Structure 1
C-alpha cells in the first residue's frame, strides 16, 4: 500500500500507539497520523500539543506524517489519498467496535479498507487514560509512554 491513515486522539501518544505506527510503516510507504480535533472530547493536551508530542515520539520512524483533522475520517482519507485505515485492537470489545466503524466507513467510501492490527502482548494493556492515571498518582510510566510524554505530563500536573 502506498498511503494508510492511523487515526486517533493521541491524548497522549503511548508506546502502544508507537508500536502500531512502527508496524504500519512496514505495511505502507506513507503513514498519516490523523490527529482528531473533537470538540466534544475533553482532552488533557490541546491539538497542537498532541501533534508536537507525536512528532517528537516518531522522529525515529520514516514515512510518518502528523496531520490534524476534523470532520469525517473517510473525507480526510480521500484528501490524503489513503487506501486504508489502520486500527489497533486489544480484544473482542475493540474488535466489535472497530468492525462496526469499518462497515460504516465502507458505506461512506467503498474504496477505503480497514486493517485491524492486534496489539502485541507488551503493549495491549496500554491506553492514554491509563498512562495519565498512573502518572497522576505517582507511578512510573517509562514502560508505557515515551520520555517526551513523561516530560509533558510533568508540566501538566
Structure 2
C-alpha cells in the first residue's frame, strides 16, 4: 500500500520525521509530498525543503520526496496512493484533520486517512514554533534535524546558542590583551 504524507514542511521538524519513520513501517512506500501553498510565505523554497527532507530521511529505504500543488487527493490519485498519512498532536488538530479527511473522502472515495498520534516528546512541536524560537535567538537543535537547524540559523543570521562566533572570539581575545 502506498501512502502520501503531505505538508508544507517549512521546516521539517523531528515530529514530522517521527511520523515519516513510523509511517514507513506501516506502508510499502510513503511519498513525503511538499505542498506548494500560494497563500503562505515560506521560509525556504520548495527545492530547499525537498533537499532538507532528502538528507534527514536517507536512512529510510521506502521513502520518496516530491512536491505538488492543488488538491492532495488529486496528487494521491496520480501517485497511485490509497492512504493519506497525518500526524495528530493535540485535540484541535483532530478536529481540523477529521474535517479534512471527510472532505477528501467525498472527493476520492478510495482514499483512507491514517492518523498517527505524535510521540509525547513532540506533542508541542510545530514548524511555526521552530521559526519563532529561532527568530528570537533560541536553540532549535533539539526540535529539527541538524541540517535543517543549520539552514534556519543561516536564514535568520543567528549564531546557534552556545556557539562562539568569530566576532565574539576576537573581541574576547582583544580585551584579554589589554
TM-score normalized by the length of structure 1: 0.97
Structure 1 runs (4+) greater than 6 angstroms displaced: none
1:136 aligned to 2:135? Answer: yes
Equivalent residue number for residue 36 of structure 1:
35
Equivalent residue number for residue 79 of structure 1:
78
Q: Higher relative contact order by CA 8 Å / sep ≥ 6: 1 or 2? A: 1
Which SS does the other structure have where 1:138 is aligned? Answer: coil
Equivalent residue number for residue 97 of structure 1:
96
Q: How big is the alpha-carbon RMSD for the aligned residues of Structure 1 and Structure 2?
A: 0.8
Shift of 1:73: 0.6
Aligned residues: 156
Aligned runs of 1:36-75 on 2, under 5 Å? Answer: 36-75=35-74
Aligned runs of 1:105-144 on 2, under 5 Å? Answer: 105-144=104-143
Shift of 1:143: 1.3
How far apart in 2 are the matches of 1:87 and 1:63? 17
Aligned runs of 1:22-33 on 2, under 5 Å? Answer: 22-33=21-32
> Could you list the runs of 5+ residues in structure 1 that have no partner in the other structure?
none
Which SS does the other structure have where 2:76 is aligned? Answer: helix
> Could you list the runs of 5+ residues in structure 2 that have no partner in the other structure?
157-178
Shift of 1:13: 0.4
Shift of 1:136: 1.6
The CA deviation string for residues 24-83 of structure 1, in whole angstroms up to 9 with x for no partner, is 001011100010001111111111111111111111111110100001110100111111
Greater CA radius of gyration, 1 or 2?
Answer: 2
TM-score normalized by the length of structure 2: 0.86
